[in-house]
Amino acid sequence: MSHTTAARARADQRPPDIDGMRATVARLLGPDDAPDVLPPAADELPTLVSTLRGHLELLVAEVETAALRLPDSSIPRYCAVACVGEARGKLRAEPRPGLSGAVAYVRRLARVLRALCDHYENTGKTS
């Protein structure tokens, strides 16, 4: 795909559904990121992991592109780029064995997705 074709494809895409992403995050995290939210049922975990990973893969590219448009020495750029790196690390990670490992993993994905949503909104890209 050429550069102009890729740019045109991005321009034709709808913005990410930040509200939907935040709703998924809210199912997994308490209001202050405390673990007082009931863990998802074991049969829900694969779907939640897949959903969160898809959201992260989409938002990583969006946030990185927006962050790189900010001035080189700006704090928002530095923080957004650091969060992108953190998200990529979470995407490479594997859950520990067992239900508690899977729940902890899906919550780590949710926390980094929430942070990416914040950076997406803070870089001027809102849905």
Cβ contact 17:127 at 8 Å = yes
Average pLDDT over residues 39-57: 90
Q: Give tens-digit pLDDT for 52-82.
A: 999 999 999 999 999 999 998 899 999 999 9
pLDDT cut 90: percent of the chain above it: 58
Q: Which of 3-12, 13-22, 53-62, 69-78 has the highest mean pLDDT?
A: 53-62
Alpha-carbon separation of residue 78 from 65, 67, 86, 103, 113 (angstroms): 13, 8, 12, 30, 17
pLDDT of residue 6: 45
Cβ contact 20:115 at 8 Å = no
Cα–Cα distance measured from residue 79 to residue 105, given in angstroms and rounded to the nearest whole number = 22
pLDDT of residue 15: 87
